[in-house]
Amino acid sequence: MGQRVALSAAVVAQNEAERIGPCLDSLSWVDEIIVVDGGSGDGTQNLCRQRGARVIEHPWEGYSIQKNRALGEASHSWVLSVDADERVTEGLRQEIEGLLSSEPACNGYYIPRKNIFWGHWMRGRQFYPDYQMRLIRREKAGFVERKVHESARVTGPTGKLRGALEHYSYSDLRDYRQRQDHYASLAAEELRTRRVRPRWHHLLLRPPARFLKSYVLRGGFVDGLDGLLVAGVDALYVLAKYGRLRKLWKLNPEDNSPPLDPQR
């Protein structure tokens, strides 16, 4: 068997001192760890350096831009992109090492993600397997630049892995609500940039539709009360997104150019 294909890990961070340690510990087996730090004031940079990561400090410009910068800093062709609140499981590590024992056939691989909310693994289809494109050949990939819900786009063949990332994003319901509220503002700004106008059905029909989609169609009910609460917050997210989009249009109502994406 030949030498394993070299692998870089790319992480973006800003004030992640409480969560970055377990993330980097789960990456200790890779050949290189790169952390692009957006200007942390809580000592995140030192914690990363203590674990052998190469830290690039760059003012925060959003997840997708920071992740593309991390890709560009990687020394190796293959890159595993991991968020600061994620951890690589032992099963995923073994699968990736096996895959890289020779040159992979695909240019990118989707990885399932276990979303763990306040200690509970959310098993509904909305949150699992939650495939994310994270193992990529950097010459053939890049993150689509969006304000929220960034994702990697790969040119050429892709595959799926079985081993999972563990995602420890929310400590409690209040944390989830606050984070979704922040994402709603970012999503509204992006829709305004794309010149999407809010309509009455966005505010009246889409929030309850989102609740039904989250709780019923995507199986949130299997998570019991937690699934019910998350579905409720998801509906509030949609309501806040379009409510804030409406306010943004009121600030500049004279823009009569057509939307870039009329389906949104």
What is the structure's pLDDT at 260? 55
Q: Across-strand partners of 37?
A: 13, 57
What is the structure's pLDDT at 205? 95
Assign 43 to helix, strand or coil. Answer: coil
What pLDDT, in 10s, does the model give residues 241-252? 999 999 999 887
What is the structure's pLDDT at 23? 97
Q: Does residue 262 have a pLDDT over 50?
A: no
* Winning range, highest mean pLDDT, from 21-25, 145-149, 177-181: 21-25
Which of the two residues, 43 and 179, has the higher pLDDT score? 43
Contact at 8 Å (CB) between 35 and 42? Answer: no
What is the structure's pLDDT at 130? 92
Question: Domain extents for the chain?
Answer: 7-169, 172-251
Cis status of the peptide bond prior to 59, with omega within 30 of 0 = no
Q: Residues 6 or more apart from 130 whose CB is under 8 A from it?
A: 112, 113, 114, 115, 167
Report if pTM > 0.85: no
Maximum separation of any 2 CA atoms in the chain, in Å: 65
What is the structure's pLDDT at 1? 45
What is the structure's pLDDT at 2? 57
Q: Across-strand partners of 154?
A: 141
What is the structure's pLDDT at 50? 96
The burial class, CB within 10 Å (0-12 / 13-18 / 19+), for 248 is middle
What pLDDT, in 10s, does the model give residues 106-150? 999 999 999 998 888 998 888 899 999 999 999 999 998 776 677
What is the structure's pLDDT at 256? 61
What is the structure's pLDDT at 173? 86
Whether domain 7-169 has CATH 3.90.550.10: yes
Q: Tokens standing for 6?
A: 């070299």
What is the structure's pLDDT at 170? 81
Which of the two residues, 253 and 79, has the higher pLDDT score? 79
The mean predicted confidence, pLDDT, of the chain is 91
Which of the two residues, 118 and 10, has the higher pLDDT score? 10
Contact at 8 Å (CB) between 187 and 236? Answer: no
The Cα 82–Cα 88 span in angstroms is: 8
Output the CA torsion sign for 136, 79, 82, 159. Answer: positive
* DSSP track, 197-231: PP-HHHHHTHHHHHHHIIIIIT-GGGGHHHHHHHH
DSSP 102: S
